[in-house]
Amino acid sequence: MKFQRSTVILVGVALLLGAGVLIAESQRARTPETAELGDNQAPILDFAETDVATLMVERAGETLVFERDEQDTWQMVEPETSPAEPGAVAFLLSRLNTDAPLQMVTMGPDQVSEFGFTTPLGTATVTLKDGTKHVLILGGEDFSGNANYAVIDPSTWPPAPNSAEYDVLVVTRDVANGINRPLEEWKMPVEAPTPDASTPTQPPQAEDSAPDSSSNPSDGDLDTNTEDTEARPTPAPGSEADTTD
């Protein structure tokens, strides 16, 4: 039984298409699925800044802890004790509860290293006044190089080998900038004390090198008498003055 040439061509094309589908599916299994988010999506984390009691930032073996005091002022309690720079704390909190993620992708438990979560770039933990905690784990850069992967509020971490897939957010670089801010920028600058304008300053007194004639009145009188004696002429012999004496 002979097949027509057209039939053989159609069978070959079908086999090629089937092989292409298998290859595409196998590659798709290794490529994170991307979901574009709409314009009205929720922020990265859902909390109000006024409800935050503690902020903890972990990065590169360093842990920073900030707490609100009774005057509602941020204080650094680790690794140093110092008034915190409120702008630095507000910047990171605003990135977390205001900025929306750019995308959402799916990560399998065996893709942790591919997303940069083997050694995270940093972790931000927000504890609210009612005890609720929110955690953001910052991973590596995405394909564009202008954003980072992030996992929020994971139930378990790191993922177990047999765990389900994770939803991973793509967040702006501002989140990384807020977490990795230098330590000195987290502390309130110390202002140098300024002199009090109400307190007059005493000008320095110059030493008086001129001799004080009043301290030795006898010397002064002696000098004066001496000068008078030397200036008085000696009377000639036989003069009226000599006769008088």
| pLDDT of res. 233 | 53
What pLDDT, on a 0 to 100 scale, did the predictor assign at position 13? 60
Measured between alpha carbons, how far is 52 from 89 in angstroms, rounded to an integer?
11
Q: Give the whole-angstrom CA distance, residue 45 versus residue 98.
A: 8
**CB-CB contact of 59 with 121 (8 Å):** yes
Neighbours of 4 (CB within 10 A): 8
Please report which residue ranges of 50-141 form alpha helices under DSSP H.
Answer: 86-97
Query: pLDDT value at position 161?
Result: 81
Give CA–CA dist 140/96, Å, rounded: 17
Q: What is the pLDDT along the chain (245 residues), one digit of tens a residue?
A: 454 556 656 666 666 665 554 444 444 444 444 445 545 579 999 999 999 999 999 999 899 999 999 999 999 999 999 999 999 999 999 999 999 999 999 999 889 999 999 999 999 999 999 999 999 999 999 988 899 999 999 988 888 888 888 899 999 999 999 999 999 999 998 776 666 655 555 655 655 555 554 545 444 444 444 444 444 555 555 544 444 44
